[in-house]
Amino acid sequence: MENSWDDRFNREDYLFGTEPNAFLASQAFRLKTGMRALAVADGEGRNGVWLAERGLDVVSVDSSTVGLAKARALALDRGVNLQTVQADLAEWEWEPEAFDVVVAIFVQFAPPELRKKMFAGFHTCLKPGGLLIMQGYRTEQLRYGTGGPPHVDHLYTADLLIRSFAHWEIRYLQEHDSLIEEGAGHAGMSALIDLVAEKAMHDSLPIPAAHAIGTQQDVAPSFAARGPSGY
């Protein structure tokens, strides 16, 4: 079946550049050598390779064979090991409790039903206490047009993420408009939302979706006041 991402990645340079996403890089303090990480929809591998450079054991999954070939080339150039898996995330079997970290950067070319399935997959594949590190575009991104899908129902809001991860501990959640320069694919002022969430140690015990103070370890009070209300 034709893969539009193969077409987009079939270029000499890297569509989204070869450096890691800036928000992911800012979360380096949460990562430890030897952690097993899953880079979801990792495309040409910039984030997976960066994780491997930090000593993590990385699986990079994407639907594009072209993108993954470029990811392997980047890993070879950087002198790190990167396991790549070609898969359609709509059909992929998420290995239970297999990872310490899931990285999902701009994983937004997915309608609501697929998004819900992916979010459930993140929960399945993380070990208890494992971390999800995610950045995405907010609905306001449609005004900027500097990257991401053109469909509002593919974009995020703080309420959506709080509801979707109501039984996780949200370590960090922040909405912001920022200038990003990540290759030709992500360039210009962008409406972003950043999330770090920890899978509960005991799923039977609901965990508050947010707690106050807007630091890199906690959630801004404006989000904490909203609370979870179900997805």
pLDDT digits (tens, 9 = 90+) for 76-118: 999 999 999 999 999 999 999 999 999 999 999 889 999 999 9
Spell out the domains of the chain, with CATH numbers in brackets.
Answer: 4-224 (3.40.50.150)
State residue 213's pLDDT score. Answer: 30
State residue 203's pLDDT score. Answer: 59
Rg (CA), the chain: 17
For residue range 122-158, list pLDDT tens digits in order.
999 999 999 999 999 999 999 998 888 899 999 999 9
Give me the DSSP letters along 129-158: EEEEEEEEEBTTHHHH-SSS-S-GGGSB-H
Average pLDDT, rounded, for the chain: 87
For residue range 20-53, list pLDDT tens digits in order.
999 999 999 999 999 999 999 999 999 999 999 9
Q: Are 135 and 156 contacting, i.e. CB atoms less than 8 angstroms apart?
A: no
Helices 46-53, 65-78: inter-axial angle, 10-degree rounding:
30
Strand pairing report for 186-199 and 126-137: antiparallel
Alpha helices for the chain (secondary structure H):
4-9, 22-26, 46-53, 65-78, 112-125, 141-144, 158-164, 221-224
The percent of residues above 70 in pLDDT, for the chain, comes to 86
Q: Is a pLDDT exceeding 80 seen at residue 195?
A: yes
State residue 223's pLDDT score. Answer: 35
